[in-house]
Amino acid sequence: MANLSINFAGIKSPNPFWLASGPPTNTGEQVARAFEMGWGGAVWKTIGRPIVNVSSRLGGLDEADRRMVGLSNIELISDRPIETNFREIAEVKKRFPDRAVVASLMLDSEKEWHDMVRRSEDAGADGLELNFGCPHGMCERGMGSAVGQEPAVVRKITSWVKKAARVPVLVKLTPNITDIREPATAAVEAGADGLVLINTVRSMIGVDLDRLVPVPSVAGRGTPGGYSGPAVKPIALHMVSALARDPRISVPISGIGGINTWRDAAEFIALGSTSVQICTAVMHHGFRIIEDLVEGLSNYLDEKEMTSVNELIGRVARTVGEWGELELGYKVAADIDPDTCIGCQVCYVSCRDGGHSAIHLPEDALTPGHLAPRRPIITERLAAATETASPGSADSSRRRAHSVSTARTGYRVPWVDQTQCVGCNLCSLVCPVHGCITMREIASKQ
Amino acid sequence: MSDRFQLRSQRTELVFADLKALYSRAEALAEAQRCLYCYDAPCTKACPTRIDVPGFVRKIATGNLKGAARTILEANVLGFSCARVCPVDVLCAGACVLSLQYRPPIEIGRLQRYATEPFVGTSFFGRPLAKRTGRKIALVGSGPASLACSFHLVGLGHESVIFEKRAVPGGLNLSGIAPYKMHAHDCLRETEWILSSGIELRTGVEIGKDVSCERLVTEYDAVFVGVGMGKDSSLGIPGENVPGVLSAIEMIERIKLDASLSLDGLESAAVIGGGNTATDVARELAHLGVADVSILYRRTESEMPGYAHELKAARAAGVRFIEKTLPVRILEEKGRLKGLVVARAEKARPVPGTEREFEAQMVVIAIGQAGEAGVVSKFPGVKCDSNGRVIVDEKTGRTGNPRIFAGGDCVNGGKEVVNAVADGKRAAIEIDKTLKG
């Protein structure tokens, strides 16, 4: 069993999975329940001067059968009394001394910051997270992403907090910026002990075409929100890896953005995150996802013969570089497995119209120089798809469990002409059958 | 796998292929990704052993197969068998909320097989042994109920000894499962694997004959009775002892385990009964090439205890279902079976004057099994009801004797493997509570 515990800038937790600051960490009751279920840490819902939140607050992006692959919110920081939040932080910390409890803060004057640092530490918080990233509602007040977008302001506030803080200070960054390395280095130079990214991406999630109002709408009006969920993961992975690769960034990174499964978490860790934070997936499925997160990561590390999370941190970050450093002589080409192909021909049309026309159908006339596969194009399996399975025969070939009652339409297995294939991956990305199209290395012509 | 138990290599059942092939990875992922990951899910509530179905399906979707197997096997150690033999249409999959959207329910059984099959026979149960309690429990019978009960008891630190009167363990799960659902060798593989978690098995020992019930009660701290059901009930009509008249359990067992069964030249068979055993045996005979297989049932189709989906599958195999028909005597000619005399039945009673001849070269009787009251009642303080089923407290599985528990078919009169597993778990929890005071 691999060791999942981490030490993030001095903040210890039994596993790298923390709840990100947001609705799931709004109350002590929620955080305590999450800890009971095995979460390693929690960043409290941001505490600041009390505000009023609007109704409604969220909008979702769906994709076919999958609901909420993206989520946009216009919620502000905690709308509960400051003393209630600190009292509950103290209670949770007392009940779960081995978990990481981080107080997220957002204020404007130095005096207020110092006051809140003291109160957070008095409550027993293991660390502070400075929310410089909220893209809506708070920036108009000179806070949130208005801070994160100005390296000079990041530097100033981080220094204020560092003057007063005894616990580690983490700076949470906004992705709504040209170059993430600028605010990040400003924070590190000002003494930040760790970086947290990404906060949400400024967005308009959609329009209600019936009522002709934006989504979400508040009494018929809307405002740009903060985008999160699976859809933002690539943006987050890029920014995390950009910082992990930057020699000026010497502090640990806590990765956030679209983490839904242990695989997503492992990707963040491999690109340089020490801990990962999750909010939207919990809002979608509940705290119960922790079981698979912990177990899945643990099994993965065992399979890779790694003894701790630390061995995975940044493993892949060092393989990311500039485009100009890439090997131009290297070549892969697609290969379609006729035994698992279901004959949908989606790869064929996508390669023909949006790729390099390297995929052909069985009856395509061959021009000289083309390579055709030396195997049956229509597999026995597809040919048999019109027959019903009969358990009375000892035929050991893979049978359909259900009878396919289609006419003999002639399922066609496309084939790849590897001399034409540029190895772009497109066909393997659109194929509905996991593992049917693989990209194989072609010996380079030296 | 050990070579401790041998099955015959030329068994009739081996001509049957799996009705549902093992999913490929692509198929499993595609199916798992359809799951909505319900909370407090109806599929889980429909499972007698309460497997966290959405939890294990999600783990398949994320590629955490080992975790999926753990989720299944912690709730139901016979999860591999159940994946293959459970009537999912009337249990978990039947409860799937997707049906309410007119979408096909998740193929939970096939996903469960995909998640468990790679681990059967591996060191998956390499669990650190719980602190030994020094307590010993005897289990009678080695079917699913006793296997599940002993597995949990060993996990709690108690010593478990299973007594099996036959040479090979597994009970009806070994000898009574339709071969297109699961072959005997797969059942045996799973049984040996469960035993390898630290359970002692003594085969060829019949309780009440080789070892007395009293001795068991005095030598062990608790006893679990999981003896299953007894012999097939008979019709009680003239001519039942003519060769060619067989009992269903015996017939299925011969198909499963026997190498000498020959159905050459057999053109017609009549199966008597309306339960799942009747539909199973009829379907097996049809698949084995018997041209004319009929099920004769004394009530109407809507009243039959067997599952509608099983009858549908039997019909698809060519079986005829004849309702409201009762056999009144066996027809023989020169000592050989010729068929039956049947009558139309009203309210399961023959209507006089409606008798007719019904030709069949084989008659299989599948009208239920008797209880094992003979063995069971030898245990002091244990009572059976008028049907020969052991009377237990529903919450605990405890019999009239505070140290004797029972579960599985001998209590419920013959349900599914999954019910037996649930009974075994129930008793294990209660035995542990009792022993730890």
Task: Report the pLDDT value the prediction gives residue B144, as an integer from 0 to 100.
Answer: 98
**Cα–Cα distance between B363 and B247 in angstroms, integer?**
8
Q: Is A428 on the interface with B (CB under 8 A)?
A: no
Statement: residue A192 has pLDDT above 70: yes
Q: Strand, coil or helix: what is B388? A: coil
Query: In chain B, what residues touch A263 (CB-CB under 8 Å)?
Result: 62-63
Cβ neighbours of residue A30 under 8 Å, at least 6 residues apart? A24, A287
Q: Find, in chain A, the residue whose alpha carbon is nearest to that of B290.
A: A392
Task: Report the pLDDT value the prediction gives residue A361, as an integer from 0 to 100.
Answer: 86
Q: What residue type is A362 in one-letter code?
A: P
**Cα–Cα distance between A149 and A183 in angstroms, integer?**
7
pLDDT classification of A443: cutoffs 50, 70, 90: confident
Pick from A416, A418, A446, A410: nearest CA to A431: A416
Cβ neighbours of residue A163 under 8 Å, at least 6 residues apart? A114
Task: Report the pLDDT value the prediction gives residue A382, as an integer from 0 to 100.
Answer: 60
Task: Report the pLDDT value the prediction gives residue A398, as an integer from 0 to 100.
Answer: 36
Query: In chain B, what residues touch A393 (CB-CB under 8 Å)?
Result: 15, 17
Smallest Cβ–Cβ distance between A434 and the set B25, B64, B287 belongs to B25
Question: Mean pLDDT over residues A143-170, rounded?
Answer: 93
Q: Find, in chain A, the residue whose alpha carbon is nearest to that of B24.
A: A340
Statement: residue A406 has pLDDT above 50: no
Cross-chain Cβ contact A391/B16 below 8 Å? yes
Task: Report the pLDDT value the prediction gives residue A366, as an integer from 0 to 100.
Answer: 63
Smallest Cβ–Cβ distance between B37 and the set A285, A401, A435 belongs to A285
Task: Report the pLDDT value the prediction gives residue A400, as an integer from 0 to 100.
Answer: 40
**Cα–Cα distance between B83 and A339 in angstroms, integer?**
25
User: Which ranges of A356-416 would DSSP assign to H, the alpha helix?
Assistant: 380-383
- The more confident residue out of A389 and B45 is B45
Cross-chain Cβ contact B55/A299 below 8 Å? no
Smallest Cβ–Cβ distance between A263 and the set B17, B30, B63 belongs to B63
Among A46-50, A363-367, B90-94, the range of highest mean pLDDT:
B90-94
Q: pLDDT by residue (tens digit) across A255-294?
A: 999 999 999 999 999 999 999 999 999 999 999 999 999 9
Alpha-carbon separation of residue A174 from A195, A236, B180 (angstroms): 11, 10, 58
User: E strand or H helix at A18, and its extent?
Assistant: strand A17-19
Task: Report the pLDDT value the prediction gives residue A1, as an integer from 0 to 100.
Answer: 87
For the question of residue A347 being annotated catalytic, the response is: no
Q: Is A62 on the interface with B (CB under 8 A)?
A: no
Query: In chain B, what residues touch A396 (CB-CB under 8 Å)?
Result: 17
- The more confident residue out of A132 and A382 is A132
Average pLDDT, chain A: 90
Q: Give bridge partners of residue B356 from the DSSP assignment.
A: B342
Question: Mean pLDDT over residues A195-202, rounded?
Answer: 97
Given a contact cutoff of 8 angstroms between Cβ atoms, the answer to whether A283 and A289 are in contact is no
Task: Report the pLDDT value the prediction gives residue A339, as an integer from 0 to 100.
Answer: 81
Going by DSSP bridges, is the β-strand pair A66-73/A58-63 parallel, antiparallel, or unpaired?
antiparallel
The alpha-carbon gap from A37 to the nearest alpha carbon of chain B, in Å, equals: 14
Task: Report the pLDDT value the prediction gives residue A105, as an integer from 0 to 100.
Answer: 97
Q: Residue A63: exposed, middle, or buried by beta-carbon count in 10 A (0-12, 13-18, 19+)?
A: exposed
**Cα–Cα distance between B116 and A386 in angstroms, integer?**
30
Query: In chain A, what residues touch B289 (CB-CB under 8 Å)?
Result: 392
Given a contact cutoff of 8 angstroms between Cβ atoms, the answer to whether A272 and A240 are in contact is yes
pLDDT classification of A145: cutoffs 50, 70, 90: confident
Task: Report the pLDDT value the prediction gives residue A368, as an integer from 0 to 100.
Answer: 57
Chain B interface residues (partner A, CB cutoff 8 A) = 14-21, 24-26, 29-30, 34, 37, 39, 55, 58-59, 61-64, 66-67, 70, 110, 180, 286-289, 317
Going by DSSP bridges, is the β-strand pair B336-346/B349-350 parallel, antiparallel, or unpaired?
antiparallel
**Cα–Cα distance between A144 and A170 in angstroms, integer?**
14
pLDDT classification of A410: cutoffs 50, 70, 90: low
> Which segments of chain B have a pLDDT < 70?
1-2, 127-129
Task: Report the pLDDT value the prediction gives residue A179, as an integer from 0 to 100.
Answer: 97
Q: Is A291 on the interface with B (CB under 8 A)?
A: yes
Cross-chain Cβ contact B15/A288 below 8 Å? no
Query: In chain A, what residues touch B16 (CB-CB under 8 Å)?
Result: 391-392, 394
